[in-house]
Structure 1
Amino acid sequence: MSDTAPRLSLQALIGAALLAAGRPVAVRELATVLQLEEEAMLRELESFSDVLSAADLGFRVEVVAGGYRLVVPGEVAAQLSPLLAPPPLPALSSAALEVLAVIAYRQPVTRAEIEAMRGGSASTVVTLQERELVKVVGRSDAVGQPLLYGTTERFLMEFGLAGLGDLPPLDGADFSHLLRG
């Protein structure tokens, strides 16, 4: 950076970083880049979020997928839909949503376990992988070492979750009520 370049405020740098990253940015990463302690970075992020809310500028800070990002609220996005690209992907089928729910709540999970819980095929795993909502996270120790599936950061982003702990609670830890038949 040249000595003659204008010095940006910390909030301007935070806004620029969140916009330029195009993905959720972890507090630790942002603190490192901006040379702040993590606690100070958290305070600055809260302050930046408050400034955006007060200014009513049409975007806000969202905590999602373990980081922070700038987003356009749904009511604003609806008015701007002709400008937004690409068009949204077709909605997931109910079967795909069922498989995604099983993976999200039970991960890591094998395809056979998904099929046992659903009482039917888990063929939509491929579609979920193509949409980058689930991924292979390892192999089971079971016979044949089947693939284990888990959710991705994109899953958290698409569903507006900061982490898996934000999933709505299920009744108890027993998943047997999900079995069909």
Structure 2
Amino acid sequence: MKTNPLQRAAESIIFAAEAPVPPEQIAEIVAEVTGRPPSSVEEVRAAVDDLNASYEADGRALRIEQWAEGYRMATAEDVAPFVNAYYVGEQRTTLSRSLMETIAIVAYRQPVTRPEVDFVRGVNSDYALRRLMELDLVDVQGRSDAVGRPLLYGTTDHFLEEFGLNDLGDLPTIREVREILDDPSFDEERAKLLQLDAEAAVAASASGPASDDAPTDDARPDDDRSTSNGTANA
């Protein structure tokens, strides 16, 4: 499929970018370079759709995904095993259970205060929130009008990018989550995770008592890990 100048420009910008690029920014860059009136957002989106169609028609491994209201170059799901094999030896990390609990509460109830997160989890979430902020998945979005004016927390654009979401409306509904939990295959995955947790606990107890200045909530050493959405960014 022959590409037009807008498609070529959009493809090159998205390939070079280190973060999702909004269609408006692509239009502005193209107009600045060419000296022509800027393309509309619809024209940019159509150009990206045509690029993806050509990738698929040609059997290419690349795809342009829309995450955090911008475009990002990524690989197709079916080539994930090859990408994973390439990264063997590097730390492949996931969020720990305590961080996943915390970020789920923030994502679905934002803006939310720390006491509200603590109430839902039943434990102190100060450490978890600080780690999520260090990972740029959560940020302060203001202060509540409640007594003491506690900080309000919400998710970031980086959260959307890491979880492969275009916006918060793409989060699964409670009904969809329940369907996932009722899926027999999920029980198998949960059993594997519980086994890993048990092995980690045995290893930790064998290494000696924990330090007195350890985090106060149920965070574990794997809280320092970041997320992966299963596809590789170009």
| Shorter-chain TM-score range | 0.7 to 0.9
Code of the aligned partner of 1:56: G
What TM-score do you get using the length of structure 1 for normalisation?
0.82
Pair 47,28 (structure 1): closer, same or farther in 2 beyond 3 Å: same
Query: Structure 1 CA distance, aligned partners of 2:88 and 2:16?
Result: 17
Structure 2 residue 105 is the aligned partner of structure 1 residue 102: yes
What SS does the corresponding residue of 2:161 show, helix, strand or coil?
helix
79-88 vs 17-26, which moves further: 79-88
Query: Structure 2 CA distance, aligned partners of 1:92 and 1:78?
Result: 21
Code of the aligned partner of 1:170: I
Instruction: Name 2:159's counterpart in structure 1.
Output: 155
Query: Structure 2 CA distance, aligned partners of 1:85 and 1:32?
Result: 39
Code of the aligned partner of 1:166: D
Instruction: Name 1:179's counterpart in structure 2.
Output: none
Query: Structure 2 CA distance, aligned partners of 1:31 and 1:107?
Result: 32
Instruction: Name 2:76's counterpart in structure 1.
Output: 73
RCO greater where, 1 or 2, for CA within 8 Å and sep 6 or more? 2
Give the alignment partner of residue 138 of structure 2, picking from 134, 139, 145.
134
Pair 94,19 (structure 1): closer, same or farther in 2 beyond 3 Å: same
Deviation at 1:85, TM superposition (A): 9.4
Deviation at 1:67, TM superposition (A): 1.1
Deviation at 1:89, TM superposition (A): 5.3
* CA RMSD across the alignment: 2.0
Deviation at 1:140, TM superposition (A): 1.1
Instruction: Name 1:41's counterpart in structure 2.
Output: 44
Code of the aligned partner of 2:18: G
Query: Structure 2 CA distance, aligned partners of 1:44 and 1:85?
Result: 35
What SS does the corresponding residue of 1:80 show, helix, strand or coil?
helix
Return 5+ residue gaps in structure 1 as ranges.
1-7, 172-181
C-alpha contact (below 8 Å) 2:143/2:151 kept by paired residues: yes
Query: Structure 2 CA distance, aligned partners of 1:153 and 1:64?
Result: 8
Instruction: Name 1:17's counterpart in structure 2.
Output: 13
What SS does the corresponding residue of 1:81 show, helix, strand or coil?
helix
Instruction: Name 2:123's counterpart in structure 1.
Output: 120
Larger of the two Rg values belongs to structure: 2
Query: Structure 2 CA distance, aligned partners of 1:86 and 1:26?
Result: 34
Paired-residue identity, %: 38
Instruction: Name 1:92's counterpart in structure 2.
Output: 95
Q: Relative to total residues, which structure has the larger helix share, 1 or 2?
A: 2
What SS does the corresponding residue of 1:17 show, helix, strand or coil?
helix
Query: Structure 1 CA distance, aligned partners of 2:8 and 2:50?
Result: 12
Aligned residues: 164
Deviation at 1:134, TM superposition (A): 0.7
Deviation at 1:10, TM superposition (A): 2.5
Query: Structure 1 CA distance, aligned partners of 2:149 and 2:88?
Result: 41
Query: Structure 2 CA distance, aligned partners of 1:76 and 1:9?
Result: 29
- Listed one character per residue, the Cα deviations across residues 2-22 of structure 1 (whole Å, up to 9, x for unaligned) are xxxxxx833221110101112
38-47 vs 155-164, which moves further: 38-47
Code of the aligned partner of 1:158: E
What SS does the corresponding residue of 2:84 show, helix, strand or coil?
coil
What TM-score do you get using the length of structure 2 for normalisation?
0.65
Query: Structure 2 CA distance, aligned partners of 1:22 and 1:84?
Result: 19
Query: Structure 1 CA distance, aligned partners of 2:92 and 2:71?
Result: 24
Query: Structure 2 CA distance, aligned partners of 1:114 and 1:90?
Result: 24
Instruction: Name 2:26's counterpart in structure 1.
Output: 30
